[in-house]
Copies of this chain bind each other. A is one copy, B any other.
């Protein structure tokens, strides 16, 4: 999400809140702005640190509660990871992820070859959507291998 779009995303978020009757509080707006403005698929703690810069009274519990709200509203999703903290994504477009096996960074990835993955499943499973993740070494970790 390049920052030039973040403002528009926030505006759409505020509009959606009005439509749904969910109060668009300053806290919710700032948390959503931080999430929408990040490409790191941040953890609650990371969002907490970011939001406190402009809103020092922010509580970590509010970050957790708001992230639940954002997911329920359909403007964010939780990402499956093997890490020790939850990670969120405000990019609701169909896309996939690059996951670094070394530093566990996650970045968006879209490729035509992945656009038309068939939505298949066994008889007794009702598929809804597919997510693909490409595991490997990110640019940074390729450049600086683990200090032996």
Interface residues of A (CB under 8 A from B): 78-82, 86, 98-99, 101, 107, 109, 111, 113, 117-122, 124-139, 142
**Is the Cβ of A137 less than 8 Å from the Cβ of B111?**
no
Contacts of A119 in B (CB 8 A): 134
Q: In the complex the two chains form, what is the Cα distance from A135 to B132 in whole Å?
A: 11
* Number of copies of this protein chain within its complex: 2
Contacts of A130 in B (CB 8 A): 132-135
* 17 A-B pairs (CB sep. < 8 Å): A78-B82, A79-B82, A80-B80, A80-B82, A80-B133, A111-B120, A117-B132, A120-B134, A121-B134, A124-B142, A125-B137, A127-B135, A127-B136, A128-B136, A128-B137, A130-B135, A132-B132
